[in-house]
Amino acid sequence: MRLISMRRWKKLLFWGTALLSLGADQLTKFWVTQNFVLSKPPETWPIIRGVFHFTYVTNKGAAFSLLQNNAWLPWLSLIVCIGLVCLGLFGTRLTRWEQAGYGFLLGGAAGNGIDRIFLGEVIDFLDFRLIQFPVFNIADISINIGLICLLLATWKSSRKSSHKSSSR
């Protein structure tokens, strides 16, 4: 038991980014549901008119409203979260970039997964109108940051291994 506990705390960045991104996602969604009315057309508050608005919409699909009304999406979210928690508890040592990447992925997957399981849809509200981008949320940002961190970890690892092989 002590080995699992020590290994778990060696991944403090993993757990910290997961909890912070999940907390930020759920708090902002709670704020939206308390301050906006879900309506058609959607209620919107311009922050910078024509550029960035808070717009309360829901999404029954995955990224960018793909796979609308699929009954297996909540289960997929749950499986991804369980896999990432197992990685955090039992996985090998991770670099800082990997810890941050997987932590952000867990926080984002859990944030949208909670919405899917308990509400049947995901709450979105960040609306960049200047580039006509789909409305999204903090969990979506976390998932993208996580992917960027993992790409950086892979890039750094490949650079490190190429330096080792060239120095031989």
Q: Of these residues, 25, 115, 127, 140, which one is catalytic?
A: 140
Q: In 3-state terms, the chain is what percent helix, strand and coil (to 5)?
A: 65, 10, 25
The tokens describing 24, both together, are: 């930020």
Number of other residues whose CB lies within 10 A of the CB of residue 19 = 14
Does the annotation count 140 as an active-site position?
A: yes
∠ CA 48-30-149, nearest 5°, is 70
Q: Of these residues, 25, 115, 124, 127, which one is catalytic?
A: 124
Active site positions, annotated: 124, 140
